[in-house]
Amino acid sequence: MSFWQTTWTNVLGGVGAGLFFLLWYVVIQWFLGATDLMITYNWSYRSESGCFQAWPNFDIRNRSKSRTYRIANIAYTKGGQPHWFDNKILWGFELEPGSIHSEIFGGPVARVASLQDALGLEVTVTLQTGRRFWLRGQGPGQMGRGRIRRIAFVLRSRLESWMIAFE
C-alpha cells in the first residue's frame, strides 16, 4: 500500500468508528428519553344522593436525572371520540427530575354517571412539550403499552438495576 492509501484507510476507519459510537450514543439517549416518564392511574369516586362523581388519581414517576417536565392537559375519550378535556386542574404541574408523585388528583370528569362509565374512558396526559401518554382503561389505569414499549421499560429497569448510568 502506498502512503496515501494507508492514510485514507486510517482516516475513513476513524470516521467510521466515530460515527458508529455517535449512533449508539444517539440511540441510547433516545431510549432514555422515551422511557423516562411512567404514568399510571386509578379512579376515585363519590356517589351521594343520586349524584355520581369520578376523578383519576395519577401516579407519575420522572426517572430522568436532568429533565423537568410540565403537564399541559388531560383528555378523556371514549371509543376514539372526545368526551371531555381537563385544561385547568394540572396545567403547569411540574415533574422534577427523579421525582415520584403518587397522589396527583385530576378534576371530576363531566358526564360520567357510574363507575362503569369511568372505566370505559381512555385518558391521555399531554405534556407542555407536546408529548402524549395514552392510558387505556384496561383494569385500574395501566399505561397503554404495546409489546415494544413493554420491552423498553423492562430493559430500562434491568439497566437501572445493574447501575449503569448513561445520563
Picking from 46, 44, 37, the residue whose alpha carbon sits closest to that of residue 141 is: 44
The answer to whether 126 and 74 have CB atoms below 8 angstroms apart is: yes
Considering the chain, what percentage of its residues have pLDDT values greater than 90? 40
Q: Quote the pLDDT of residue 70.
A: 95
Total domains, the chain: 1
Residue 39 pLDDT > 80: yes
Picking from 98, 123, 103, the residue whose alpha carbon sits closest to that of residue 112 is: 123
Q: Is residue 84 part of a domain?
A: yes
Q: Is residue 22 part of a domain?
A: no
Q: Quote the pLDDT of residue 167.
A: 56
Q: Is residue 29 part of a domain?
A: no
The answer to whether 157 and 149 have CB atoms below 8 angstroms apart is: no
Q: Is residue 47 part of a domain?
A: yes
Q: Is residue 101 part of a domain?
A: yes
Q: Is residue 16 part of a domain?
A: no
CATH code, 53: 2.60.40
Q: Is residue 92 part of a domain?
A: yes
Q: Is residue 15 part of a domain?
A: no
User: Which residues have C-beta within 8 Å of that of residue 105, sequence separation ≥ 6?
Assistant: 44, 55, 56, 57, 58, 89
Residue 120, helix vs strand vs coil: coil
Mean residue pLDDT across the chain = 86
Q: What angle do CA 5, 6, 12 make, to 5 degrees?
A: 85
Task: Name the residue range of residue 123's domain.
Answer: 35-161
Summarize pLDDT for 129-141 with one digit per residue, the tens.
Answer: 999 888 765 445 4
